[in-house]
Amino acid sequence: MKLKNIIILVLLFNITLFAKLNIIVTVAPQKSFVEKIGGKFVNVDVIVPIGADPHSYEPTPLQMVAVTKANIYMKIELEEFEKPWLPKLSAQNRDMKIESIAKNRTHINFEQEKEDEEHTEHKDEHHHSAEDPHIWTSPKEVKNIAKNILDILINYDKKNENIYKSNYENFLKEIEYTDKKIRETLKDTPKNTKIMVFHPAFGYFARDYDLMQIAIEFEGKEPKPKMLAYMIREAKKDGIKTIITEPEFSDKSAKVIANELKAKVEAISPLAPNWSENLIDLAKIIASSYH
Ligand code: ZN
């Protein structure tokens, strides 16, 4: 074989061996999940930056350009963002495949506010009670997400199947550890303890660990003064001692309620990339405040 041909072969070999899958995801925890399984064979870009509200985020022109290099968009069925934006992102890159890592997820709706007579006007607003998209705050759902990511990666990159599988097994161990740690932390927290949060991002977490999430915000809006007064009365009855806010949202009404209750305000972001530590921290906050 001629030297020139050998060089070409080596070059080709290198390209196929080291070509990474360029993947785009909606929120930061997804990036962590995809990287856990894809390891060095994936290059993951997040569309909604940490600190931005994924329910109303609009991609920058630079991000639109980044999409032109992507092989796969792994959506998480965060419909408020993905429904309007995915078609536009797709238009930038017709070759980009769209896959869901939320396949076979369980579905829960946002808890409805308790209503008394003065809040019947809220009933209609809340009527189309929306589905909760924050599945990644539940280790149980993260297990399902991990399986979906594994299947997608193998489908697009069969030759690294064994590596993906062994990464997946390690990731499952981390998920199980997280779940165990949360259960241990919450072992003395009474069942159905109410946790007050600003943005209802922890519904799946609450479901998994027998807690009840009470959200101050509803469908993206700060409560009106009347509603706020009602919430303060309820929160007093429930003995709420801590209000969980998120850096992504205003904590104005949370602070008003906290002042009235002499409660603490603690910020936890459901978008943190270190999802495991973050959920364990949330459990610690709940455990230290609610019993
Ligand atoms: Zn959210």
Cα 224 to averaged position of ligand 1 atoms, centre (Å): 20
pLDDT at 116 over 70: no
Q: Ligand 1 mean position to 134 CA, how many Å?
A: 6
Query: What is the rounded CA–CA span in Å between residue 90 and residue 241?
Result: 46
Decide if 47 contacts 72 (C-beta within 8 A). no
Ligand 1: distance of its center to the CA of 53 in Å?
A: 7
Residue type, 64: M
Q: What mean pLDDT do residues 65-74 have?
A: 93
- What pLDDT score does 230 carry? 92
Q: Per-residue pLDDT for 219 more than 90?
A: no
Give distance in angstroms: CA of 78 to centre of ligand 1: 9
Please answer whether residues 247 and 269 qualify as being in contact, where contact means their C-beta atoms are separated by less than 8 angstroms: yes
The predicted pLDDT at position 281 comes to 97
Predicted confidence band of residue 160 (pLDDT cuts 50, 70, 90): very high
pTM score, two decimals?
A: 0.87
pLDDT of residue 23: 97
Distance 146 CA to ligand 1 centre (A): 20
Distance between Cα 80 and ligand 1 center (Å) = 10
The pLDDT value recorded for residue 290 is: 66
Q: Which of 54-58, 126-130, 157-161, 264-268 is least confident?
A: 126-130
From the CA of 199, how far away is ligand 1's center (Å)? 6
